[in-house]
Amino acid sequence: MQIFSFWNFLLVIHLIFLTPFVYAQATVRLTVEELQRVGLQANGLVQAARSQVNMAKAGVIAASAFLNPEVTVIAGPDDRRLPFDLTGPGTMQRTLTVNQGIENPFMRNARIGASEAGVDASRASFDQVRADLAAQLKVRAYELLLRIEQAALEQNIYDLLNEVRRRIAVNVERGEVARFELIRADTELQSAANRMEAAQLTAQRARVVLLQLTAGAIPNNFEIQASLKDPINLPSLDSLRQELPSVNPDIIRLQAEQERAKLRIDQEKASVLPQINFLYTNYQDAQFASNLAGVSVRIPLLYQRRGEIDTAIYDSARIRETLEYRRYEISQLFEAAWQSLQIAQRRVDMFEGGLIKEAENAVKVAEAAYKFGERGLIEFLDSQRILRGILGDALLARFDLQSAVAEIDRLRAHYPKELIPE
């Protein structure tokens, strides 16, 4: 019974100390959308852009505020300048003045509208930052998959050459092959080892880039639950062309800024109108009390804000021209991304249409011929280099395909918005 309790005690101690280590080493698997969600929530640039939206909303509150009244209180004793017999005792004077400005409703409405347009512009800039980051995260995620595939390819080549080198070494010991073949095999093996190490380091660097973009919100041992062979889900070309001008954040931002510039023109023109202040004064002394009311009007006779109005007009023209140019530029960027997508798709179809299979068969034939002494080592290595180049180009073609999709998604601001709190 004591032995049983002792073993139970050891088991409990083992679980206590081993369980945290097991959980710490557990690999976290993330889909591309989950990676985008984490990055969009943790990245500091996104948080800063969200603060800009909140600042713009606060500006609407400030623009909607009414003018505060001005209250002036004046009090003091009277000093006698004549004898007491003529003036009597000294008195105390008190004056209360209230000045309430009445804001021009046209200028007020234009100011509020300009602030609301500023909110729309800030929100569009916020969407642009999120779309850029989401696209970058997607590209970097597939780049990590690309680098991992390249490292695995180089590992396979290294293993194959290592096996060939072992066979050559055995034949050299038997005297069936010249030692020069072993030297050549060692050289090829060392070259493959260098490529394999470089590919592994490149994959690690791609992992570090993703950690940087997500601000360290994901563990170091994460894995991307995706593949370079993921299907492409995009609307038709005509649908994308019609959708793009209405959803691109940069176009939406410039449209909001153009509306704000127009309202600023209205605001400057409305400020030329006379400004009215209502005045009320209460006066009291020892004998009298008076209440006075009046109106103060500021009339713009000498200067009618010509400079401010012209500045607002030219600023509106600048934004309008920028908007037209950006519309054209974004449409051309989309067309270029679509062409890149088509080119990458054709390359993928070419490699998968039989080119890779033919290169693999050529390597198998060359390897078999080399084993039977019908071909030399050079022919075998040449066929292996051709296969490595074709496989590498096929991986790059798939990566280019996913990158083109990410660029199209960036231009149309397509990312998991429903997962992002406003």
Task: List the CATH number of the domain containing 303.
Answer: 1.20.1600.10
Q: What pLDDT score does 12 carry?
A: 45
pLDDT digits (tens, 9 = 90+) for 201-225: 999 999 999 999 998 889 888 999 9
**What's the DSSP call for residue 217?**
-
Q: What pLDDT score does 422 carry?
A: 52
Q: What pLDDT score does 213 carry?
A: 92
d(CA 400, CA 199): 18
pLDDT digits (tens, 9 = 90+) for 125-134: 999 999 999 9
Q: What pLDDT score does 23 carry?
A: 42
Tell me if 153 is assigned to some domain.
Answer: yes
Tell me if 20 is assigned to some domain.
Answer: no
- Angle (CA) 46 52 57, round 5°: 130
| Ranges of the chain with pLDDT below 50 | 1-4, 6-24
d(CA 355, CA 390): 8
Tell me if 84 is assigned to some domain.
Answer: no
Domain span holding position 231:
25-76+92-419
Tell me if 86 is assigned to some domain.
Answer: no
Tell me if 1 is assigned to some domain.
Answer: no
Tell me the backbone φ, ψ of residue 30, rounded to 5 degrees. -125, 135
Q: And the tokens for 381?
A: 């290595």
Domain count, the chain: 1
Give the pTM: 0.82
Tell me if 133 is assigned to some domain.
Answer: yes
Residue with tokens 């590992």, as numbered in its chain: 155
Residue 246 · residue 93 · CB < 8 Å: no
d(CA 368, CA 202): 33
d(CA 254, CA 321): 10
Q: What pLDDT score does 189 carry?
A: 87
**What's the DSSP call for residue 228?**
T
Tell me if 11 is assigned to some domain.
Answer: no
Tell me if 5 is assigned to some domain.
Answer: no
